[in-house]
Chain A
């Protein structure tokens, strides 16, 4: 398996930038997800690695060797698309075996290789069926089997499970991750679905408007987002982001959210991060699970009123009005059962983020 290196990749269509100065190293055996909204450049990046798309400048290295001028067929990389693209007249077995036929392998060897891939993918019992007789998830397993069977240097996947229904997608996530653990194939996976990215990646590379926003483990991008875009693209329900005013006195700071009458008090660590930076245009970001909610008055908590209750079964999301602003909090199921109930709110200091509204960048991110 291989290491991939993208160095200063750039690509534009006419006056439109698709990829700008993209630098990314994908280590041997690593599962990297390119995540972003449609049009962010993630698929173009993937196609450039595969050799299906030319880049305007920059280098693509596979195991240190430059490949920009190599045709797709010489890069020894497998590609899995959202559409299954199986040969309809061949059985699953023949479909998976197809790439091996080019190598003049003995029948016995072919059979062994197909069987071993089929075992990992748990489709051994389906090998004699034609694609039309297979369910969506099984078809995609066969497609993946065909990509893996010749042990390519790297495997590239473009939204491979995007067309499956929710439950099957949930299962396939686990299977794909499992497959990766067993095969250790260097994998680049493109998706717009942050849940897929979070659940499968070793590292996530988040893109927007052709620009790489942040690269990090799921925990890193979730807990320490580099900017507002990442903060709101990753995580569901979305992170609360509210404009705020920050006043410091002694070693405390007071944070008043726009539209809110009272304020939140924060201590030392936050003081250093925010007060030390001289920004007037500050937005506070806090995920729903970092909003503490109590049903009785508590010291240091601000009063609010429950505007909406969204039950999700395992937990509830509350829309809480703090004056004119609304923030969302995650609570246990049935913590609050009546609309308009008064509640008291505090923010978990260690999980509260501050952003410069102009640049969108997080303030004083700990390094």
Chain B
């Protein structure tokens, strides 16, 4: 006896019926069980006649009806700080953004290695992140190459309090140089340059704390710290990563000089007398008095031996605090001072140039803007402050920052001059990193020259007069 074979038509009918049934089943509202934590009064008999009512935290299982058809949400992604603590903070705080914006799904991606090359490839492919961290010359690189969205139309949507809270110098820096109102970023954080100093070492050599140093005192007091052992220098007065243009420019600014002419970003100002004076100071500190280490004298130029007491002071920003705190612990007392004054008694402190930008090709600019607004809100700022230790972009949040720093670094909770970081913004001597119209072309000429000056000591400050002319000519030839 043979069974009837399932023909093609019957099979197709069967499959269609199964598919329709599944679709209907999926549409049916589902009942899900969810565990919630509630507080409810519970009576407890203490004695026979005494009944005590107390609030007790219990867990209850409740049933919730969930519609099977989810509300469509627009997905936006952002590249943020890659520190694990930032990821934890984002996991904690981002749901608040999504509660306030139920139609937006925001995804955080840690800023990847080789991020710039990856971002470029993704931009060409059409799937770059909607929002990302940006900074300094890279910001202007993105602007020049139409990678960043002009946010001018969105800026009026920002709370007025934010506009008054951010450094006006930062907002000015973010704006177009052609006088238009275009602006492509929102301030992300501050990284004010201060002087970290080993207070215990200052006590040991009998030097006054550098709370109000000028650069002459920097040199004269600095000589007290230099120490040699077996013909090798093992301790210096200070250090700064002046091979990097941000730190290099900081030194020029302290003397009233500039790397980039503030009025003309096609002109290099290294030839000006104030800049030359700063270069003379650097040359003396590194190559004549050697109160700053030469590159070959220390194992790691980018992380000088401040934690081992090899360096009495370091010019840096708040991002390094966590690194040194872990390494130093209670071995010695260290503190912060404002960046030393220049010859005229003026101060200047770099504030960094870290900002959030939106990709110009973002398919959801409005939603991405909502995410950017959240990133610069109190929640967004706290995520960054708690994770990276960096200061807020908004002045009013410095109170929160102090609390966060004292909590994260309990050994420095008392008797530490945290205010040194706020001082530049409070007193108006903060400035934003200078940028050439074509940073790539300028860097090709400047970086080798810095190497000759800082690493090798093969050239003297005069050399930079020619370099300044060369940079100006090259930038103007390319930029027009």
| A and B: bona fide binding partners | no
Residue ranges of A at the interface with B (Cβ–Cβ < 8 Å): none
